[in-house]
Amino acid sequence: MALQRTCTKMPKMATSSEAIEAGKFVKSSSENKQNVAATIPPPNISQIKNKQRRSEAFIKLKREKRKSRIEERKRKRKEAELLGDQAPPKQIPRTIENTREPDATLVDPEDEEVQYDETHDDLSNYFNRETTPKILITTSDRPRARTNKFVKELKMVIPNSEARYRRGLDLKKIIPQAIAKGFTDLIVVHEDKGEPNALYISHLPNGPTAHFKLSTVKLREDIKKVGKPCTSQPEIVLNNFNTRLGHSVGRMVAALFPHDPEFQGRRVITFHNQRDFLFFRQHRYEFKNGEKVALQELGPRFTLKLRSLQKGTFDSKYGEYEWILKRHEMETSRRRFFL
């Protein structure tokens, strides 16, 4: 029987040009995959139906973003250390405050016209040291317990002040009695559903009168690690009252407190204006060393929002208003401020 010879075909060796073409194909395919991956949008967490998985994905995404921010901050810090004096200047973050709309009423405190107006307005007798502040604090009719507590703490904050029960009297009857007894300012606290919600400040005897919305009230009992109150005359800090209206409001607030603070008491009261909200804080400070200062909050806390400024004492019917907040006409931009 004759033997049959079997032969197997050897694989054909690829030429150099074919190998190059194959390498190009592999490279182009990997690049296409990277481009496709780059064009795929990140997963939308809100489309995950399962609540637990959705919350886990959200927490994971927040951690990744935070980690990337920290790494970017470290990288910029290292670059700045390596470059030294040649490092680019630190970028100023873009905020609503530093991008506010131009306001023609922004004033310079050294301006002669502003100084003349301030020396001849209704508050000039206080700043010329012709009067000593004496404050009368009252409330709306039949105040609730929380409003009474707030008035008591306000009395502790403002030196030389007295809190009186209103007894259903109209403000037009209270103001002449207050003037006759030597009070220089009248503060009226209003409430809604047991919560303080409005504050009136009227400078006696000739005004002006300011109406504020009162919000985020926290009494001393609501603040953690609050310090003991003291009766020393406080230092007053007024921040960011930059317009003509802001100057008027800042002067009204400053006129509630005595002229000469007692620095040994280390008590400071701050009215900080930010986006037309006036944040009130009271602290006691302590110097740890030449550089560090410790603050202890004394309370209370509250926030004021100016609603109107009226000439003269309180008269809601026939009074002449210098400024009234009309929200739908005036608050048309987030970057428009009035104080």
Looking at residue 98, its pLDDT comes to 82
Q: In angstroms, rounded to a whole number, what is the distance separating the alpha carbons of residues 302 and 198?
A: 11
* Alpha carbons within 13 A on the beta-carbon side of 214: 24
Determine the pLDDT at residue 35. Answer: 59
Note the pLDDT tens digit of each residue in 321-333. 999 998 888 888 8
Q: Is 86 or 246 the better-scoring residue by pLDDT?
A: 246
CB atoms under 10 Å from CB of 162, counted, come to 14
Q: Which residue has the tokens 């609503």?
A: 96
Q: What is the mean pLDDT of residues 275-287?
A: 93
Structure tokens at 261: 């603070």
User: What pLDDT score does 221 carry?
Assistant: 93
Residue 19 clears pLDDT 50, i.e. is over it: no
Residues in the chain: 339
Contact 260, 321 (CB under 8 A): no
- Going by C-alpha positions, the residue among 272, 280, 338, 332 that lies closest to residue 308 is 338
Structure confidence at residue 38 (pLDDT): 53
For residue 31, the model assigns a pLDDT of 58
**Is residue 144 predicted with pLDDT exceeding 90?**
yes
pLDDT class of 41 with cuts at 50, 70, 90: low
- Report the share of the chain in percent with pLDDT over 70: 87
Residue-wise pLDDT tens digits, 121-136: 888 889 888 999 999 9
What pLDDT shows up at residue 17? 53
pLDDT tens figures, 285-316: 988 887 888 999 998 999 999 999 999 888 87
The Cα–Cα gap between 62 and 71 comes to 14
Please enumerate, as own/partner, the contacts of 314-321 that have beta carbons within 8 Å and a separation of 24 or more. Answer: 314/171, 314/172, 314/175, 314/186, 314/188, 314/200, 314/202, 314/209, 315/172, 319/209
Look at residues 135, 148, 142, 190 and name the one whose alpha carbon lies nearest to residue 166: 142
Confidence of residue 218 (pLDDT cuts 50, 70, 90): very high
Q: What average pLDDT score do residues 63-86 get?
A: 89
Say how many C-beta atoms besides its own lie within 10 A of residue 194's C-beta: 11
Residue (of 185, 187, 196) closest to 149 by Cα position: 196
